[in-house]
Chains A and B, each alone.
Chain A
């Protein structure tokens, strides 16, 4: 039981790190990045290659930095030129990017499943209420908690965090106050993409790397973002924990219907509160 809850927290943590990137980008650009799952995947593959030449501990920061740079490029050449268009245009373009990135990964790394080993330092297990649990999985939970804490402190106390919160409420007025929203946005998309890289890297030892790994986690992180309320950080946190738990319980107890459970939960939440748990802004 405790082990199940912990495993749910692991998946919820990964989802949170990914979903909060979507929320950040949505706040600034009012668009949803359909290529976010692909960034997660590219993060995992970059870490795999770097780790093959060095170690996991080098791969982790390298993957985050590479993805953050990709994020800057994405913001500069996709989100910014399309910011005055219908948001659907950006969605379609990022959907096109998703197809391209999946193909690029398939071409570079092949279609076969690859696996990245957990670093030796964390490869042991600990005993929790009489059952063993991998240390690495505990670390994933810790990282998710640190990301959540770090982000909320950053948003609350830093100047750029203030700009981000202001732009999330109303980008036009924020711009009129003299905030360069394009620069804020470049930073925010870089952070969002970097978090996708972090999520992809720490997920790599938990799941096999494959060119389709981005799509299924993208769906779950979409459910998280919609259930939490599009644009809400705390909503995404709660929803990620919730979806992580029901996903895991579904896999353990009713495997054939596991994929339907997050979806049913989402429909239930939307009937109850059409704008999501945190509601209001969507």
Chain B
């Protein structure tokens, strides 16, 4: 049994990955044309948004070796920023850009403080941060309408695109799917870059990286901010799609679900968490009859995957692929 965060992750090298990703991306884009069921497309749109969030959480595990229990903070802050900035009279376009930029900058500032804390204490801190924001929007009723949440007053057109594009499952699925593929591609390139290698080195042995002469806090804070930016993007997609935001977007159960998706899919792979997100939604669909006990179902799934498949489903696929390809599996 191998560890979830320790050990070298599979380093993306091969161009084959690029072609596979683009092929899957293109195949996904045909989905709304093939499947007509609005229910299925709604489910897949939600799955794609959550897969983006899970990709952010998983990237932090992969690149920094730290587990965040609070990425809902950036997801929810982004959704609330969209709603509040529009409410305070900003143009929707500016609000949308700031909705990703502000949580990212906040994460960078916070990251400089909290990435110094490693291991389990880091996880506890991220959870505390997210929960503090959850309580804030819940209690500060004048600002954000508390538990009732608030509707977002989008104009009819945003960036010259009809708002309906973002609120119909068929078209929104395409937007989310393209965003997901773009995020995975971007992270893949980042992992291949010098910066990606440096952060992996810091993850493996921070002290040694410091002795070689690298600064170690800022790179990790940047990775934290990148991963938060992805979560914020997911929050923005959520806000566009639903046109509504509630404190649930900041709740730790969302952070937990995103983390569970990442663990199911395999956080050591850039694309693992996204796969986990899709699998998660199929489990959720299959568990339909047990929706009252949904938390217990995901809790048990998390325990089983952690104990039995620490590399996640993605890790198993890579292992199988390596075997079938005749290479010695690592």
Contact yes or no, B119 A215, CB < 8 A: no
B303 within 8 Å of A by Cβ? yes
User: Is A107 on the interface with B (CB-CB < 8 A)?
Assistant: yes
Contact A95 B136 (CB under 8 A): no
A104-B296, A259-B132, A259-B139 known; A92 vs B121 contact (CB < 8 Å)? no
Cβ-neighbour of A107 out of B1, B116, B293 (below 8 A): B293
Closest B residue to A81 using CB positions:
B307
Interface status of A131 (Cβ within 8 A of chain B)? no
* Closest Cβ neighbor of A107 among chain B residues: B293
Given contacts A100-B295, A103-B295, contact A259 B131 (CB under 8 A): yes
Query: Which residues on the B side are within 8 Å of A270 (C-beta)?
Result: 113-114, 116-117, 125
Given A96-B300, A96-B306, A99-B256: A263 touches B121 (CB 8 Å cut-off) = no
In the complex the two chains form, is B131's CB within 8 Å of A89's CB? Answer: no
Q: Which residues of A contact B3 (CB under 8 A)?
A: 85-86, 88-89
The answer to whether A88 touches B129, judged by C-beta atoms less than 8 angstroms apart, is no
Asked if B1 contacts A219 (CB within 8 A), the reply is: no
Q: Which residues A245-260 have CB closer than 8 A to chain B?
A: 255-260
CA distance A267 to B139 in the complex (A): 21
Closest-CB distance, B77 to chain A (whole angstroms): 13
Q: Give chain A nearest CB distance to B261 CB in angstroms.
A: 13
Smallest beta-carbon distance B154→chain A, Å: 27
What residues of B have a CB within 8 angstroms of the CB of A240 in the complex?
A: none
**Interface residues contributed by chain B, number (CB under 8 Å):** 48
B124 surroundings in chain A (CB, below 8 A): 32, 222, 225-226
| In contact, B125 and A266 (Cβ under 8 angstroms) | yes
| Known contacts A102-B295, A103-B293; A97/B136 CB under 8 A | no
A263 x B128 contact (CB < 8 A): yes
Q: A86-B6, A102-B295, A259-B139 are in contact. Are A96 and B303 (CB under 8 A)?
A: yes
Q: How far is the CB of B304 from chain A (nearest CB, A)?
A: 8
Q: Looking at the complex, which one of A89, A95, A225 makes contact with B256 (CB distance below 8 Å)?
A: A95
Question: Is A31 at the interface (CB under 8 A from chain B)?
Answer: yes
Is residue B48 contacting chain A, with contact meaning CB distance below 8 A? no
Q: Say whether B84 faces chain A, with CB atoms less than 8 Å apart.
A: no
Q: Is A87 an interface residue (CB 8 A)?
A: yes
Residues 217-276 of A contacting B (Cβ, < 8 Å): 219, 222-223, 225-226, 230, 255-260, 262-263, 266-267, 270-271, 274
Knowing A89-B310, A103-B299 are in contact, say whether A95-B69 is a contact too (CB < 8 A).
yes
Query: Are B299's CB and A97's CB within 8 A?
Result: yes
Contacts of A85 in B (CB 8 A): 1, 3, 310
B residues with a Cβ closer than 8 A to A are: 1, 3-6, 67, 69, 110, 113-114, 116-117, 119-121, 123-125, 127-129, 131-132, 134-136, 139-143, 252-253, 256, 259, 263, 293, 295-296, 298-303, 306-307, 310
A-B contact pairs, 20 of them (CB 8 A): A32-B124, A34-B69, A88-B4, A88-B5, A88-B120, A88-B123, A92-B67, A93-B303, A96-B299, A96-B301, A97-B299, A99-B298, A103-B293, A103-B296, A219-B132, A222-B127, A255-B139, A256-B141, A258-B139, A260-B135
